[in-house]
Amino acid sequence: MTVLTSGLTTAQAAERLQREGANLLPRKPPVPWWRRVLTQLRDPLIVVLLIAAALTAVTRDWTDMAVILLVVVVNTTVGVVQEIRADQAIGALERLTAPAARVIRDGHQRQIPAADIVREDLVVLAEGDIVPADATVTRAESLLVDESALTGESVPVDKGEADQVSSGTVVVRGRGTAVVTAVGAAGAMGRIAAMMVKGSGLTPLQRRLVGIGRMLAAVTVLLCAVVLALGLARGQNLELMVVTAISLVVAAVPESLPAVVTLSLALGARRMAARNALVRRLPAVETLGSVTVLATDKTGTLTEGKMTVGHLWPTRSTTELLTAAVLCNDARLSDGQALGDPTEVALLTAAAEDGLDRAVLHDRFPRVAERPFDSVRKRMTTVHRLPDGRYRVICKGAPEVLLTDQAAIEQADRYARSGCRVLAVTAADLDTLPETIEELGLPLLGLVAIVDPPRKAAAATIAACRRAGIRPVLITGDHPSTAHAVAAELGIDEVHARAAPEHKLDIIQELRDRGDILAMTGDGVNDGPALRRADIGVAMGRRGTEVARQAADLVLADDDLNTVVAAVEEGRRVYANIRRFLVYALSGGAAEIAVMLLGPFAGLALPLLPAQILWINLLTHGLPGVALGGEPAVPGSMERPPRPPSQSILGAGLWQRVIRIAVVLTLVTLGVAVWAQQTGRPWQSMAFFALGAAQLGVGLGSRARPRTLANPMLLLAIGGALLLQLAALYLPPLRELLGTQPLALGDLLIVLALSVLGYAAVRLDRILHHME
């Protein structure tokens, strides 16, 4: 007996398993936890924070050091956890593949673990089986395979002898045998798994933070070195100036930035969850706000993901056409569940909506003979006994096989060009049961056009993307005519059809190489690599495969693409809040350095003591800075285009704004100090209070909706910080620690009034320069 009938022998299979390995998907070698931690700590901003922590330890500012280290620990932990979760996508592929399979060995059928299948094994396939490995069909009886998870094609594919079947696909009808041609990494699932091992790189936000971290490190060290040199040149004590320079480094570095980023992302993730968008990776929240291209799958994303009768073209009556379609049909509806070929299920559903009951029709017109559908004949034929004793022959199949009438051919072509799958139904009544079933030349009952209809909200979602400056692109494994028809109906100009998983990666990389920030939606196994490669992967939660959900950054619990638009708005809010915090923190840090640089030229030997600098930094960069991350979205944010992908986080006029506000803070502080010195007042304490209060004014003026009570946490944080600033002047323990003196009520009110200029500067700057 040959392998085609008896399969391999047990000895042959064992030898091949030993030589070629098991039928398992490739896995990345496990990364030890300490290596994951070191990877997170190499981030430039984290490095700056670690340096700042070391410097605060030198100055014995244990509180500030503890806060900085806590931020580092939290961010590192979040990064490591999310990295581990991403690795679970490969495990999801393994769960999708068949855990067991039936093979013929030594001439006998037996069930073995799918991992033990080897090349040239003869596998047995039947309805409901998951194909365990890539194979070539050697025998097929009405074999129909659902390949949608791999190709995106919504219609199952007929398989005959010599056709290929892929691992992970599902047999929905019929039975057969197949000889295995590839296992493990060499198979379809293996190739997808190998593509998913590759990471997607840094998010846009992470890339921008890397840049700002390097810039801050260089500029801060340089300016503080200048302060140190100037102090020594004026004859100041070396130890005092070293501590002052270190304090300025800590003050200039916005160590709350990671905390603000984490809080903003966490709040964004919580808001998205309330809108049915579940975030699996926190940076994905901000990435959505950067998106310039939305690449979407078709089946189940833009469309309903189920076959529906879209058009009927009867030659006699609709009822007669649907009755024949129900009789020449092997699908069934049971307890609300559809069983069988999706195309035949669509026919039953349409008939039920027309009042036709499958069970009643089959009882009235029992089937007495049949010729099942196969991919060669492209048709199915059944014979039924009529109540009067005669017989009815019904045939349904491909129009190009059954049609002869020119009008019907033209109508079928029109349906096909619009993206429909077209079936022709023919029938004839006979006086006697025929010895052979004649299928061709029967009178035409009509045409049935079956579609996977677009989702009701899809067109509105695509329009909303366009208004927000996001270009929609359709990438699908489906037939070009179907893909272009759906795209035309929804207003999508760019279409990539018949895209295999590796082709989707090429398309995504090409879009990213153009400089676009890409969001990719999908639900099938074939979408897994693309979801990983995109800047942000979005998976369908209900109908999506576990592979797609594990590979994605965002999962839509309601499978509604409109949820992506809501998530984009949330992403833009997060990015705006990060920029809002940077204006607040950097303008304050720049003002502190400027005061220390320019003060001596105004006759102020040492404008602020090191402890005073650190206190201001603790109050302003602490809770008020973090609370800025919870600001609501600015109205109209979705009516503007996304920011350019190459734009710095300090771009679009932000660094100029930082300088303008820093100038105001510096002038207020130095003005108060010089006036107080010339009038014999405690000038250093007044400068200390003015700088801190003016910075808090900047925080208050940075609110997204200043005339509302939105984000009450920010109001409470600023109020609490102002009280602590007052306590630094009037509580003896704090006065001794910070070297301050109490102010007379009149002097305090004067400083408070001038500090309002910090608030005014921000508000006026936003109005004059039309910034958020």
Positions marked active-site: 297
Strand order in the sheet with 277-279: 277-279, 554-556, 536-540, 518-522, 293-296, 471-475, 494-496
Q: Side-chain half-sphere of 451: how many Cα atoms within 13 Å? A: 20
Q: Both tokens of residue 371?
A: 């010729």
- Tell me the Cα Rg of the chain: 35
Q: What is the DSSP letter of 641?
A: P
Which secondary-structure segment (H or E) carries 429?
strand 421-430
| Alpha carbon 273 to its chain's center | 13
Q: SS3 of 187, please?
A: coil
Strands (E), 183-292: 277-279
SS3 content of the chain, % helix, strand, coil (to 5): 55, 15, 30
Q: Both tokens of residue 410?
A: 């033209």
Residue 729 CA to residue 707 CA, distance in Å, equals 31
CA dihedral 596→602→604→606, nearest 10 degrees, is 20
Distances (CA, A) of 209 to 41, 100, 223, 250: 14, 48, 21, 18
Within a 10 A sphere around the Cβ of 90, how many other Cβ atoms? 21
The candidate with the shortest Cα–Cα distance to 567, out of 578, 557, 580, is 557
Contacts with 327 (C-beta within 8 Å, 6 or more apart), sequence order: 361, 362, 365, 367, 382, 384, 392, 394
Distances (CA, A) of 129 to 114, 143, 167, 171, 733: 12, 11, 11, 5, 77
The candidate with the shortest Cα–Cα distance to 299, out of 128, 548, 92, 517, is 548
Contact of 177 with 137, CB cutoff 8 Å: yes
Distances (CA, A) of 79 to 53, 537, 713: 20, 17, 27
Q: Both tokens of residue 619?
A: 């109050």
Cα Dmax for the chain: 123
The residue to which tokens 């997170």 are assigned? 40
Within a 10 A sphere around the Cβ of 106, how many other Cβ atoms? 14
Three-class HEC string of 606-629: CCCCHHHHHHHHHHHHCHHHHHHH
Q: What is the DSSP letter of 281?
A: S
Q: Is 314 exposed, middle or buried (0-12, 13-18, 19+ CB in 10 A)?
A: middle
